[in-house]
Each structure stands twice: as C-alpha cells, then as structure tokens.
Structure 1
C-alpha cells in the first residue's frame, strides 16, 4: 500500500485564503458588470421592464465585461491568472 501524502495545515490555510480572495473578487466584479450591463442595455428609467432582446443584450454585455476584466488582469495581477488580486 502506498503512503498517502496530505498537504500540511499551512498549505490548506493558504489555499483556502487564495480561494476566498478569488471568489470574493469574481463575485464583486460580476455584480458590477451585471449592473453596468443592465444600465447600458435598458437605461436606468426602464430597468424593470426588459424585453427578451434587451435581456440577451445584458448577458452579452456582462460576458464582454468579464472578458475585458480577465484580459486586463494580466496587466495588473499574475500574468497566468485572470484575477486582479495579487497571489491568486
């Protein structure tokens, strides 16, 4: 039977902290992009009455915003990560 190699407690804490930082960043950026997409696609006066095509437009704007943020993150954070947070 082979030995089971488990990571140490320090590695687990560091991994959990990195995961939490990445998750928080993605959640905040997604919410900001969604609000921006909604405002651009429908206008602030008509936010609660979107047609199907305006809703599809919001989804497209959110996807484009996420792509731009991920590309910009290469310049801000680690070039091998789509995160703007350092160390993620």
Structure 2
C-alpha cells in the first residue's frame, strides 16, 4: 500500500474513533446510555478497527489510490 492510502486509512480510522467516542459520551450525558469514559474509549476502538479493515479492502478492490470502495472514476463522476 502506498503512503497516500495509509494516510487515507489513518484519517478514516481516527474519524471513526473520535465520532464514536464523542457519540458515546454525549449519549451518557443525555442519560441515553450509562458508559464510563474508559468504556467509551474501549468501545470506540471497535468501529475504528473495522474502519482499518474496510480501508484495506477498499485499497485492494476499490480505488487503488485510496481507501474508498468505489473506483475513483465513479467517485469523481466520470463513469
């Protein structure tokens, strides 16, 4: 994998982790769920790990220059 693809996967993984973690903290604050910060951090790692797997699959079968599942020509609207 190229450094561009690895950076793309890292960005997507970080975004998945942060949004999940913040979502759990907000749900806890709104009494929608009872989750400690440590548990929220651990739970947020699951979608982040899945994001790594999705990115690896995307770089193999989708757009070879990114972690996207759609070929680049479809994402750019040139199909």
User: Which TM class, normalised by the smaller chain length?
Assistant: 0.3 to 0.5
Question: TM-score, length-normalised on structure 2?
Answer: 0.48
